[in-house]
Structure 1
Amino acid sequence: MKRIFTRISVLAVFCLLAINVAFAQNITVKGRVSDGGDKTTIPSVSVLVKGTQNGTQTDASGMYSISAPANAILVFTYLGYTTQEVPVNNRTTLNVELASSSQQLDQVVVVGYGTQRKVDVTGSVATVKGEEISKQASVNPISALQGKVAGVSITNTGAPGSSPQITIRGTGTIYGNTGVLYVVDGVWYDDVSFLNPSDIENLSILKDASSQSIYGIRAANGVVLITTKKGKTGEPVITYNGSIGFKAVTNQVEMANATEYATIINELSASNGANPLFANPSSFGTGTNWYNQAFRNALQTNHQVSVNGGTEKTTYNFSLGYTNEDGIVKTQNYKRYTAKLSNDFQVLKPLKIGYTVSGTAINTNDINDGIFRQLYTAGPVVPVYYADGSYGDANDFSLGGGNNFNPQVTLDYFNQKTKNYRFNGNVYAELTVAKNFTFRTSAGGDFGQKEIIGYTPLYAATQGQRTTQSTLKIEREETRNWILENTLTYKNTFGDHNLTVLAGTTAQRRKLYNISSTAFDVPYSSDGDLYLSLGTAATRTVVDRGSLSTSASYFGRINYSYKDRYLLNATIRRDGASQFFGGGDLWGNFPAVGAGWVISSEEFMKEQKVVNYLKLKGSWGKVGNAGVPVNPTTLTVSQGGDLVAFFNGVGYTGANINSLVPSFLNWERTTGTDIGIEAKFLDNRLTIETGIYNKKTEQAIFEIPILSSIGTASGSLIGNQADFQNRGFEFLATYADKSKSGFSYSISGNIGINNNKVLSVVTGLNPIYAGGAGIANGALSTRTIQGGAIGEFFGYKVAGIFQTAAEITGSAQPSAKPGDFKYVDQNGDKIIDGKDRVVLGNPNPKFSYGLNTSFGYKNFDLSLDIQGVAGVDVYNANIAYRFGNENFSKDFYDNRWHGAGTSTTYPSAAVGSTINAAPNSFYVEDGSYIRVRNVQLGYALPSLLTSKWKMQRVRVFVDAQNAINIFGYKGFTPEIGGSPTNAGIDASVYPLSATYRFGLQVTF
């Protein structure tokens, strides 16, 4: 034992001496980094000791200083320049010239099941770096893409934690799942709200059918590939990203004040033949501004800490994130906690294994869905509170109908909380077989639990806002999804030929379980412990529902290039989905092919100096959409107390068919053709990418209305009903350069043009009507018909306002009153009816565009993003959605008709009457807008200063998002989403807000 102890002691001393010697051999290396062309110095160049995380950056003068072993290798990296590795060789002064990189075409692009060099890509794939996403003040990473990618339309809402609506190259389906497929580290998702934007390494958007087809059944609406950050070899690097700021409502709609409200309500009473409701309107003054009462500047904080490092055998990346975001409506709050860990292990030379796991916890304090409707319509003559502290009561002012409430009561007594827990990730093993074969197997999962608890206590606030019994509602939802994938890749280069062959299989299961329940007379609990069992047993209700779907897939792909000049890409995928089992086309085949020609590599292009790079590419492919309800061909029935069946004169609880179903259902397929050009000019400073596409959805699945006399509950029939088409053009131009003084900049602009058209419908020229939500009297405001766009606005064309009774006499609207809309008699039959309705507008944007810039000088950086849409219409349903004495906007009050000659465009206060509230052109407004999406100014502290603090980098920044918005729409925001046949209808959308932040980024 003593001998062993002695040997260990000697070994320890030897190790310590070795360490001391190693440290003693460190020397201080200084130098300047400059441009190899114009010899100007380059600030903010990364200088790293190879194999470690010991690094620094050049200062504003291009100077650096670093401690490194005498035999170390220094790695110099800067965007737009070729990375250089320079041996120290005992030198204490090391000046380096970086060569401008013309090899950006060798950039690796993430595509389905692997990567490709950008030069080899024949489809339409857009890439956004994670650092660009994290610059935005968006909690959801997809929101940050707005305006950055041509052909991609994103509609955001102002609600904290909400998921944006993303559309890639137009609306291609109108039934079931219309969203894109998200693939995060190989696992498939419908939503990525669980992701912390700071955890993203890069994001790729697959826009054409050729690049999408490798994902077969889920790719019809587009695919977004997200790669999260992985560990890197070297010493641990700790990074902190944090910000604090606030959100404020922009473009707040001004409502009529109390005096104006009382005046116009008296006019409304007169039009209905009643006495004035208010004797002296001016006595009310300005009254209550309900928006100011409910809205606030909402605090927002974000913090993220990550640790990254590893050895040659293993690497790791760990991060923790925290987001706390208040809503602009008082009482609303969103909190998210994220944790992510990834490890990669080089177990043996040919074997690598790894995993990525993440957990998310989201807690929200919710608001009543109808609060914005209440704030828009609440009477300003009603005070929030009376002098005695009781709530102001609309009934005390004889306000009935839809105005019988006090919004503050709704805020105070609405008590609903949502908790969402999610655990997901994947594990993989990658084995190099022989020389050119790589086998990879992976298993991923997505497991979540969501709980919504809402409680309404006994209360009596006003005559119209009170309860006679308490109510407890609990909804629980569980998600249990898994995916297994195996791929075998052959990759080889022989002579001028490059060949990559991929073959793989996928098996998936998606399970959703949901239970919702209600109990009455549950006593209030101050500690929040509420249970259904505490309520009255006789009135408790429980609804149990869920879904289960499985799929199996086989796929393959060939990538071939000759002399990096002639490119070929071919893909095939075969999918089977349980949704179509027992009455559907169970299996579907999805082929694709793409080709490219690098013209600039031809001999006849060698002598010219104008074009640095030029590639012509084209592709064709077919993808599918399995986002339909489970077993859509299965006939289902429902029972209810309102249904009675008589047998032998005795009544029994009856049943009804929910909806008619087809005996057979084909796949909904999308076929796309894409032709594009990629080019570089001016010594690679100017990059242009442009292309045209034709995307056709065939045998689209959706519901069409049928006669109610048939006896179905929904009055609809599911089937392959129509063909749609989206044709468009995309253009992207980027110019990047750096001046001799060290001023660097990049300016990038993009535009996407899309035309949506219904090619055919099985009902022929019989239209499909929708868009009744939020419309007065439930009138349908949209139409989908052959030859038009999906969900076009449809109604009467307004020709003016009736001024006098004499003008009405003999007109096509004999029941009208002065101040009512005058409609165009389209068919000249002297009768205004449904035959006179016409197309009023299109909610599908024709143009979407973005301008993204970045500037750098010394330690300062500035980025400015501008985004907008044009050629789009929205329907302002708020104006006519009236049931009594609701308030009016200030715009309506100022421009209303209130006597002959007062207005020829706005109707009278009776805008909510049947004749005026019918869908018409008055409510359809231009939805175009342009906004400063984001502006950020940053400053990085000098490296000489940060090195004294043992820090690699310290950067502070301030930014503003959505601070400037220019549009003509008379609502809060023209950015209005919705399902395809109900899109663009503003029935009290969440208001637009601007975000202002101060942030700090530190790397240790």
Structure 2
Amino acid sequence: MKRILIYIIVLSAFITQMVYGQAGKIISGVVSDNRGPIPGATVYEKELTANGAVTDQNGKFSLKLKGNAGTLVIKSIGYLTREISTTGKTTVNITLQEDAKGLEEVVVLGFGEKAKKITSTGAVSSISGKEIRQSPTSSIQNSLAGRLPGFFSQQRGGQPGKDGAEFNIRGISTYQGTTRPLIIVDDIEVTADQISMIDQNEIESLTILKDASTTAVYGVRGANGVVVIRTRRGEAGKPQLTFRQEVGLNSSTMNFDTNDGYTTLALLNEWTTQQYLDPAIQYPKYFAGNNLERYRLQDDPYNFPFVDWWDELTLKNSLQSRTNFDISGGTQKTKYFVSLGYFNQGGMYKNFTKDEGYNGNYNFDRYNFRSNVDIDPTKDLHIRFDLSGRFGVTNSPNDSPGNNGAPTLQYLWNGQLSAFGYPAFNANGTYGGSTSSATKINPIANLRYSGYSRDYTNNLGFVTQVNQKLNFITDGLSANALLSYASDYSFNRSLKRNAAEIPTYYWDPNTKSYLPVVNNLYRLGNLSRTGGYTGSNRVTNLQASVKYDKSFGNHDLNAFVLLNQTTKTDETASAATEPYNVRGITGSISYNFKQRYLLDIKGAYNGSDKFQNANKRYALFPAVSVGYNISEESFFKKNITFVDNLKIRASYGIVGNDGIGSSVYTYEKTYSSGSGKGYVFGETSNTAQSGIIEPTLSNTEITWETQTDGNIGLDLKMFKGKVSFTADFYKKRREDILTQRSSVAAAFGASLPFVNLGIVENKGYEFELTYRDNAFSNKLSYFINAQISHSENKVVFRDEGLAKYPWLGLTGKPVGALFGYQDAGLYQSLYDVYNSPKLLTATPLNNLNLGGVKLVDLNGDNVIDQYDMGYLGTNQPEFIAGLSLGFSYKGFDFSTLFQSSFKYFININRGIISYSRPENQSVPYNLGRWTPITGNDASFPVLAGSGSQNSVYSTYWTKRGDYIRWKNVEIGYRLPDSFAKKLHVNNIRLYANGYNLGLLYTALPVFIDPESVTGSSSTTNIGDINEYPQQRIYNFGIQFGL
């Protein structure tokens, strides 16, 4: 009995030691998944959540236990949470499984709020910073096309520092006000230009808020949608240092593919004859047969030159580079993330200024820094300090070879750099030139000597936030205060020389010597230095809020009330606007029962200083949304087990848009003075004397645009998260659009003010389908994602007055409508030419050509004029789509993205398409021109001068802008840890990615990028080619931890 008692005492002591001896013990280990270590995973004691650690870049952690339960909890976003016993252990290795169902567990909303995906009732799409970093472009908005349903974008050009895509959310709903969404970066409002300056390495996530239930909290500024960007923040643990270096090659997506010299000059001879009506008459040619043959042989390139200016001026590839260094870490009380970045992108010109001591090429340099610090002095008090800076330098050549200030590239795309006017270099090494007024200054000489223009942009911002839990009053209550400030300052430095002061030379056969094109100009003119302040803007935001977040059994309640004021000041070098404020109260109530029945009520009572009338300055912008998680019903769980989540949701609300004009005080009465703006006195002269007039009447009743917004959506997840599907259908009606009346007769005697009259309706849908799975014992993971978005709008009311003919009005047509003539093919006979309606008011003999475009006389008055111009289509894509797929296997990973836009139109009768000048280059597209032999088989009109019917906008030149683009690809490999340790680094990853890899389909000629064509409702500029083409980027990088 005594022996048994001794055994019991010893065993009890041993058990006690096991249970209570955990405190003070140090547990270390590695957290990983099927691909390798998981950095940033949280490890903490189950009963002491404040005692925890965060895994480093190698997935390692070390934790000194303070409790006695001996259970660790391991969490990481996108993985299932695990609990593991530490009893009798000092080292543990934990493998986490992906939680496909919870990959989108939390969505970011406005004013820093978050919601569980399963209980969210709004239309929201998001993308991670990791996905954004797969695109090696300088502007983050370029990375979003095809990745976010509802995000419509078009990248017009690729100039370094100015390549950011134009974008909107769910299409366009106004023809007067701004269409750009509100952009918030860590509680700081930024412009669309400023978002291009953000370093992609800093981004944690980007979310777009698309319906009234998510944007109503912004009230008068929520109608165009909201982009919310969150930057990376530190986690508790040892300092984690990461270095990333990339080098890329840029090349043009559009190649200036021209015909050879002989072909071009033969076409030019044809042009001189075909622009006349009677083909039987022999008209003089530009080039006689012998001379034409010399151009073909190219045996005397100085007297018979044919210069490929694209090849002479541009590089096959230009360079770009990116360097990033960041460090994060901290303790349970203080966490930090600090990032430094540098980006450089070179221009497409050759280095002509290497001996001049300055950079006369296109170039962009950007420097970024960010510091995000979180401090928790107590368990109930959280303090946040963010500081960021962005400094950009954009360089461009002062290179206009003509007299209209247009850059060299524009002349190149317009075909106006004569290939046969003069050689690039004369036989004596001087720059070639010509005395002909049709040719432009030698572009090589111009690029070398004309100087540069350099724009500097400096942006600084900070955020200070304090959050205090008020659990001593009641559980779940907290108070928050925030102050943010951002300042953007820009200035210019230029070094310029007038193109007329750059000597070029031509061969004079009389003196048998090279003479200057400009008489007696043998020396370069002086360079002049200019520069100064160009503008700035400042944004200050103040917030104070109280929040309540509490669960009561099966009931979850979240509510907050927020006071908000934003003050903005914009300045230019010539003028400054008065600061204006947006003030208001924002409120939100979110409730759910068992995560099954969902209700959100949100809104804002706010207004803007832009409006004078007190009754038109503030208003309530409410929204309500509901959701029903059918999959949370017991009958559903029992009978339909393959469905993880099925939710239907609906929202309706009212939001506003105060971005209605360029002036803060659109309502003010203004006066104008000067010569010709006065009155006629006496009987001897009809000349108006100087005076003061009121050019436009004022309207103090001006207010914001108001939009009613309805959305119905469905969220579905199946097969343990392998399949997910989202669908949204929406309809928006924008009213009170600023409109200048056209229905009032001109006899009224004054320019009418803008009034809130216009109405535009916009409707559409979005679908997104994702499949992801693992194979080979989770060693292989793969995914595929497909999405499509549709948006179409129409003008319901614009007060146009009564149109002379029904096809002339804008009402009933979309915003961005293109207008022009209808075509009926090409003229095939002289009889048809002579019996056709007159073009405008001129005679057919001077304006109509055999083989030219035949225009339709819509109103039957035998005259082709502005009354025959009808609707051609819209320049805004109605559909955008994206297809992405990828896989990872052991250390390898691969992903790619295809993106498309379709059902929109571009008028291509601009630039090098139009063969209308004698100095024009010709392109292969011109070879399909009409001749008496090709007749009906011609794909291009007869070559003729710009005065013909071929130069006007018509359906003949209006092409579908549809395209499919291979947008992005990335392949990477993570080297084994054993190799990294030898180099005293960790997590080495080598990767290569590409951007704008090629067009898989387009209806346009190969030298026109469908996104690089500008467009508007005005027929004066539809179809202009952006002079700096989009860039194809091949990028190579390495990333590792220190």
Does TM, normalized by the shorter one, top 0.5?
Answer: yes
Correspondence for 2:129: 130
SS at match of 1:935: strand
Residue 333 of structure 2 corresponds to residue 300 of structure 1: no
Residue 295 of structure 2 corresponds to residue 284 of structure 1: yes
Structure 1 residue 640 displacement after superposition: 4.7
Letter of the 1:203 counterpart: L
Structure 1 residue 357 displacement after superposition: 1.1
Letter of the 1:370 counterpart: P
What is the rounded CA distance, in whole Å, between the counterparts of 1:226 and 1:783 in structure 2? 43
Residue 419 of structure 2 corresponds to residue 380 of structure 1: yes
Structure 1 residue 207 displacement after superposition: 1.0
Q: Does the Cα contact within 8 Å between 1:801 and 1:905 map onto a contact in 2?
A: no
Structure 1 residue 797 displacement after superposition: 1.6
Find 2:761's aligned residue among 716, 725, 731.
725
Find 1:429's aligned residue among 466, 476, 479.
466
Correspondence for 1:460: 502
Correspondence for 1:890: 923
Q: Does the Cα contact within 8 Å between 2:658 and 2:703 map onto a contact in 1?
A: no
Residue 839 of structure 2 corresponds to residue 801 of structure 1: no
Deviations 1:538-596 (A, max 9, x none): xxxxx434453222111111111111101011112112211112598212321111000
- Distance of aligned partners of 1:79 and 1:343 in 2 relative to their CA distance in 1, 3 Å threshold: closer
SS at match of 2:219: helix
Q: Does the Cα contact within 8 Å between 1:247 and 1:993 map onto a contact in 2?
A: yes
Q: Does the Cα contact within 8 Å between 1:583 and 1:665 map onto a contact in 2?
A: no
Correspondence for 1:485: 543
**Number of residue pairs aligned between Structure 1 and Structure 2:** 925
Letter of the 1:379 counterpart: S
Residue 161 of structure 2 corresponds to residue 161 of structure 1: yes
Structure 1 residue 885 displacement after superposition: 2.6
Structure 1 residue 974 displacement after superposition: 0.3
Residue 726 of structure 2 corresponds to residue 689 of structure 1: yes
Correspondence for 2:1038: 1000
Q: Which stretch of structure 1 is more off in the superposition, 90-99 or 872-881?
A: 90-99
Find 1:573's aligned residue among 591, 597, 604.
604
Q: Does the Cα contact within 8 Å between 1:256 and 1:887 map onto a contact in 2?
A: no
When the two chains are superposed, the root-mean-square deviation of aligned CA atoms in Å is: 3.3
Structure 1 residue 341 displacement after superposition: 0.9
Larger Rg computed on CA atoms: 2
SS at match of 1:91: coil
- Distance of aligned partners of 1:706 and 1:996 in 2 relative to their CA distance in 1, 3 Å threshold: farther
SS at match of 2:864: coil
Structure 1 residue 101 displacement after superposition: 2.6
- What does 1:121-270 correspond to in 2, within 5 Å? 121-156=120-155, 157-162=157-162, 163-191=164-192, 192-270=195-273
Deviations 1:315-366 (A, max 9, x none): 1111110001113245000000011111121123322212111111111112
What is the rounded CA distance, in whole Å, between the counterparts of 1:199 and 1:582 in structure 2? 43
Q: Does the Cα contact within 8 Å between 2:185 and 2:229 map onto a contact in 1?
A: yes
Deviations 1:879-906 (A, max 9, x none): 5768743424413421122445455442
Q: Which stretch of structure 1 is more off in the superposition, 946-955 or 205-214?
A: 946-955
Q: Which stretch of structure 1 is more off in the superposition, 802-811 or 71-80?
A: 71-80
Residue 904 of structure 2 corresponds to residue 864 of structure 1: no
What is the rounded CA distance, in whole Å, between the counterparts of 1:102 and 1:856 in structure 2? 15
TM-score by length of 2: 0.83
- Distance of aligned partners of 1:735 and 1:764 in 2 relative to their CA distance in 1, 3 Å threshold: farther
Find 1:503's aligned residue among 561, 566, 569.
561
Identity over the aligned pairs, expressed in percent?
27
Correspondence for 2:669: 635
Gap regions ≥5 residues in structure 1: 1-21, 35-40, 59-64, 516-542, 770-781
Q: Does the Cα contact within 8 Å between 2:451 and 2:497 map onto a contact in 1?
A: no
What is the rounded CA distance, in whole Å, between the counterparts of 2:836 and 2:916 in structure 1? 28
Correspondence for 1:597: 628
Structure 1 residue 705 displacement after superposition: 6.9
- Distance of aligned partners of 1:1003 and 1:48 in 2 relative to their CA distance in 1, 3 Å threshold: farther
Correspondence for 1:662: 699
Q: Does the Cα contact within 8 Å between 1:500 and 1:559 map onto a contact in 2?
A: yes
Correspondence for 1:969: 1004
- Distance of aligned partners of 1:100 and 1:372 in 2 relative to their CA distance in 1, 3 Å threshold: closer
Deviations 1:412-457 (A, max 9, x none): 3152110111111211111112332211111111111111234432
SS at match of 1:921: coil
What is the rounded CA distance, in whole Å, between the counterparts of 1:886 and 1:873 in structure 2? 29
What is the rounded CA distance, in whole Å, between the counterparts of 1:169 and 1:260 in structure 2? 47
Q: Does the Cα contact within 8 Å between 1:29 and 1:68 map onto a contact in 2?
A: no
What is the rounded CA distance, in whole Å, between the counterparts of 1:710 and 1:441 in structure 2? 57
Deviations 1:60-80 (A, max 9, x none): xxxxx8877799987766775
Structure 1 residue 205 displacement after superposition: 0.5
Correspondence for 1:320: 340
Q: Does the Cα contact within 8 Å between 2:57 and 2:1041 map onto a contact in 1?
A: no
Q: Does the Cα contact within 8 Å between 1:976 and 1:986 map onto a contact in 2?
A: no
Deviations 1:600-635 (A, max 9, x none): 111220222232210000001111111122111223
Residue 785 of structure 2 corresponds to residue 748 of structure 1: yes
Residue 587 of structure 2 corresponds to residue 556 of structure 1: yes
SS at match of 2:863: coil
Deviations 1:252-309 (A, max 9, x none): 1322333233223333333456732233334234822222223221101001111111
What is the rounded CA distance, in whole Å, between the counterparts of 2:93 and 2:201 in structure 1? 34
- Distance of aligned partners of 1:444 and 1:78 in 2 relative to their CA distance in 1, 3 Å threshold: closer
What is the rounded CA distance, in whole Å, between the counterparts of 2:452 and 2:535 in structure 1? 19
Residue 976 of structure 2 corresponds to residue 927 of structure 1: no
SS at match of 2:1010: coil
Correspondence for 1:787: 812
What is the rounded CA distance, in whole Å, between the counterparts of 1:452 and 1:511 in structure 2? 20
Correspondence for 1:772: none
What is the rounded CA distance, in whole Å, between the counterparts of 1:155 and 1:858 in structure 2? 37
What is the rounded CA distance, in whole Å, between the counterparts of 2:993 and 2:463 in structure 1? 35
- Distance of aligned partners of 1:862 and 1:240 in 2 relative to their CA distance in 1, 3 Å threshold: same
Q: Which stretch of structure 1 is more off in the superposition, 876-885 or 744-753?
A: 876-885
Find 1:918's aligned residue among 952, 969, 973.
952
Letter of the 1:362 counterpart: G
Q: Does the Cα contact within 8 Å between 1:306 and 1:320 map onto a contact in 2?
A: yes
Q: Does the Cα contact within 8 Å between 1:316 and 1:341 map onto a contact in 2?
A: yes
Correspondence for 2:508: none
What is the rounded CA distance, in whole Å, between the counterparts of 2:805 and 2:215 in structure 1? 30
- Distance of aligned partners of 1:103 and 1:685 in 2 relative to their CA distance in 1, 3 Å threshold: closer
What is the rounded CA distance, in whole Å, between the counterparts of 1:410 and 1:718 in structure 2? 46
Find 1:275's aligned residue among 260, 280, 284.
284
Letter of the 1:300 counterpart: Q
Q: Which stretch of structure 1 is more off in the superposition, 67-76 or 426-435?
A: 67-76
